[in-house]
Amino acid sequence: MLDVEAQEPPKGKWSTPPFDPRFPSQNQIRNCYQNFLDYHRCLKTRTRRGKSTQPCEYYFRVYHSLCPISWVESWNEQIKNGIFAGKI
């Protein structure tokens, strides 16, 4: 997978996902899922083009902060088995 240090936020600064105006309501499930999809799409596109995947880390940090880890693990499992329902 990707470099673990690259995925951690900069040291000494508490960072958390900012307010996203695309998802203003109380139910943030779409925010979590969209960032998960965006992370994998970003990885796929940039690796295909041979570019660095460093900019994709933002999406990783957002979904890692927002999504329950059990959901993330089950989605990753589905991606590994090729049965993930989302379009990546």
Partner 1 sequence: MAHATQVGLQDATSPIMEELITFHDHALMIIFLICFLVLYALFLTLTTKLTNTNISDAQEMETVWTILPAIILVLIALPSLRILYMTDEVNDPSLTIKSIGHQWYWTYEYTDYGGLIFNSYMLPPLFLEPGDLRLLDVDNRVVLPIETPIRMMITSQDVLHSWAVPTLGLKTDAIPGRLNQTTFTATRPGVYYGQCSEICGANHSFMPIVLELIPLKIFEMGPVFTL
Residue recorded with tokens 């927002």: 66
Q: Which tokens go with 45?
A: 């596109």
The answer to the question of residue 1 lying near partner 1 (CB under 8 A) is no
Among 14, 48, 85, 87, binds partner 1 (CB under 8 A): 14
Min dist CB 80 to partner 1, Å, is: 20
Backbone angles phi, psi at 23, to 5 degrees: -130, 75
Contacts of 17 (CB under 8 A, 6+ apart): 31, 35, 61, 62, 65, 66
Min dist CB 41 to partner 1, Å, is: 21
Q: Which tokens go with 60?
A: 């990783």
The answer to the question of residue 29 lying near partner 1 (CB under 8 A) is yes
Among 69, 80, 82, 83, binds partner 1 (CB under 8 A): 69
The answer to the question of residue 40 lying near partner 1 (CB under 8 A) is no
Cα separation, 21 vs 84, whole angstroms: 27
The answer to the question of residue 8 lying near partner 1 (CB under 8 A) is yes
Residues interacting with partner 1, by CB under 8 A?
A: 8-9, 14-19, 26-29, 31-32, 64-70
